Amino acid sequence: MDLLTSLRISASGLAAQRKRMESVSSNIANAQTTRTAEGGPYRKKEVVFGSEPARDSFAEILEGELDEKAQTVHVTEVVNSDKPPILKYEPSHPDANKDGYVAYPDINVMQEMADMIEAQRAYEANVSAVNTTKSMALKTLEIGKN
């Protein structure tokens, strides 16, 4: 338990938001993708956040309650949305079915942009927390330095 633990917690927040950003940009880039490796149109990716106690060694586990309460965050899983694809009538498209309909992923680009802004703001909040922690740690070094 110290300021370095705080830094680690903020770093976990940064990493989680970065992963979220990855899936958001993947969703935007593939908003019109009709062909994927696993077959069918692209499916929207959604990240799921989970928290866990901030401790990484046995000594810290022994330290007790506070580290139980101070939680890091991490992406527990990335799920593929099971929303049905949107069918568009495009008979000349190579991926059209026998009735002439093409399955496009059901991705709302506006919603993805909003998600992106949320991820960005959360990232910034974590960066600012890192800076605060860092300046506190540096201030500690000034004790007795006059």
Using rule CB under 8 A, residue 146 touches other proteins: yes
For other proteins, the closer of residues 46 and 90 by Cβ is 46
Cβ atoms of residues 44 and 27 within 8 Å: yes
For 67, the token pair is 């580290």
Rounded CA-CA distance 141/130 in Å is 17
Give, as ranges, the residues between 56 and 85 that touch other proteins (CB under 8 A). Answer: 65-66, 69-73
Residues 128 and 122: their CA atoms lie apart, in Å, by: 10
* Stretch of 34-42, 79-87, 96-104, 121-129 lying at the interface with other proteins (CB under 8 A): 121-129
Q: Is 23 in the site for other proteins (CB under 8 A)?
A: no
Neighbours of 76 (CB within 10 A): 13
Cα–Cα distance list, 86 to 26, 27, 44, 82, 111 (Å)? 18, 15, 12, 12, 16
107 binds other proteins (CB under 8 A): no
Q: State the residues that interact with other proteins by CB under 8 A.
A: 1-3, 5-7, 9-10, 12-13, 16, 48-51, 54, 65-66, 69-73, 118, 122, 125-126, 128-129, 132-133, 135-136, 139-140, 142-146
